[in-house]
Structure 1
Amino acid sequence: MTGQVRQTLEGSTAKVTLSNPAKFNAMSRAMWRALREVFTGLQRNPEVRAVLVAGEGGHFCAGGDIAEYTDFRFHPDGLRDFHENDVWGGLSAMLDCDLPVVAQIEGNCMGAGVEIASCCDIRVAGQGARFGAPIAKLGFPMAPREAALVAREVGLATARQMLLEAAVLDAGTLLARGFLHTVVADADVPAETLSRAQRIARLAPQAARLNKQALRALAQGQTAESLLPAAYDYADSAEHREGIAAFLAKRAPHF
């Protein structure tokens, strides 16, 4: 087994680092399982208000660890277990996390990297970052739930280009197509993403969780009307009262 997923905490901001630097942080099965454990733990941690996801050594994630593939890819049951339990287990833990997640995208962001970035709320990339899912060169398609996730976030036209042409796109293109929120000089990516995560962490944490829950429900096809029964239960919360009181008193809120 190679690679690991590390978690560190700086104040109320957690940093999750994909670490398999010899392979540009390609995701091994162990790393997918660790990703699930890390985000399941973050979801339960009331002290964390924002999460930053990064790769080690100047790359985000170059895809899956192909050296492992001959162990399971040639048998339908093993292949299903890999995608539905290991991969989707990690991705769904990210998607189910109510904390705002910021992606620090540098260098290679391919295949699994695009999938992980698609689970993040705010995506910051360096000018030299490259994006794609050229698995057609490896002879297999993207798994259905992973394809649905990527198509929703990068857009169907871009997903077709990545999967059918094995196209590799630059950061400027992904910014223009709405996948990225900002592109900065490569050297500025770590500082920019940390600044954004810390800024989020200073905002109202309950509001962030409620917004993520609502946006997730809407993305899953629920109607706004279905959310109305509990939509205003926060009315008497301390956070709500503090935010309004601070505005009226012309002072910074203490969340």
Structure 2
Amino acid sequence: MINVSTSDGVGIIELNRPERRNALDIATCRELVDAAATVRADGARAVVVAGSGPAFCSGADFGEVYGEDFLDALYTALHAVADLPMPVVAAVTGPAIGAGLQLALACDLRVAAPEAVFGLPTARLGLAVDPWTIERLVQIAGGGTARSLLLACATVDAPTAHARGLADTLGDRAAAQAVAADIATMAPLTLTYNKRSANAFGRGGHTGDGVVAALQEEFAACWRSEDIVEGRTARAEKRAPVFRGR
């Protein structure tokens, strides 16, 4: 149901249920958790989440969506993706609806192909998404877009998503992989620190003293790292740096 690989520092997590338009069921959610652990163990420095066939992820599999076991599996999977320490890029090459939009939001960046469409039609179905999803949607796309998706059950096409910040870049799966490949050449410690800081400070009123202290230590570690020496040396030698994450 999920294909996983890592090459040249880029991990690929591909939903592979094209006959169900890559809808998420309990088994797929659990495989998604395992896939996140695999790319991390394989040393990926950036990850692409994609869908096989014409859909990114059409949402939840309605054969299972109404049970508590599905909710537990879904949110465990979403947080497994969101909590990866390296940047995660969603290659949205078709519909990202409901749980599919949630999966795209769990990623750090979204590359939208011309055929991409985003939607969160929970109010048409009597369903609901958790506050974390809504907070993340507001943080990424703004309150206006969030209200349009949540209250009017609007759908957003790729150009509109790009204009409103829901998509960072327009392009196909190859474009998403190119973004990830470029990220994989960057300093891992800095990227991890940047990601954690952006996630922490994007949450209004949620950043306690302990979180700030931990981020301050990561900031200091970046300045003590071998990678900062490599960056300075490479600049002086007019070559591309080779960062090792230490």
Normalising by the residue count of structure 2, what TM-score does the alignment of the two structures yield? 0.89
Quick check: 1:114–1:150 contact (8 Å CA) kept in 2?
Answer: no
Match of 2:189 in 1: 206
Q: State the Cα distance separating 1:140 from its structure 2 match.
A: 1.9
Q: Could you list the per-position Cα deviations for residues 37-90 of structure 1 after superposition, in whole angstroms to 9, with x for gaps in the alignment?
A: 221333344x21110110000210011001223xxx2xxxx43x432x211101
Which runs of structure 2 are paired with 1:92-241 in the superposition (5 Å)? Answer: 92-184=79-171, 189-220=172-203, 221-222=206-207, 226=213, 227-241=215-229
Q: State the Cα distance separating 1:230 from its structure 2 match.
A: 4.6
Distance 1:125 1:99 in 2: 20
Gaps of 5+ in 2: none
Range with greater deviation from structure 2 (93-102 or 159-168): 159-168
Deviating beyond 4 angstroms after TM superposition, the runs of 4 or more aligned structure 1 residues are none
Q: State the Cα distance separating 1:150 from its structure 2 match.
A: 2.7
2:19 is aligned, of 18, 22, 26, to 22
Gaps of 5+ in 1: none
Structure 2 letter corresponding to 1:202: T
Normalising by the residue count of structure 1, what TM-score does the alignment of the two structures yield? 0.86
Quick check: 2:113–2:173 contact (8 Å CA) kept in 1?
Answer: no
Distance 1:90 1:13 in 2: 20
Identical aligned residues as a percent? 34
Structure 2 letter corresponding to 1:222: T
Distance 1:144 1:254 in 2: 40
Distance 2:217 2:87 in 1: 24
2:6 is aligned, of 5, 9, 12, to 9
Distance 1:156 1:113 in 2: 20
Aligned length: 238
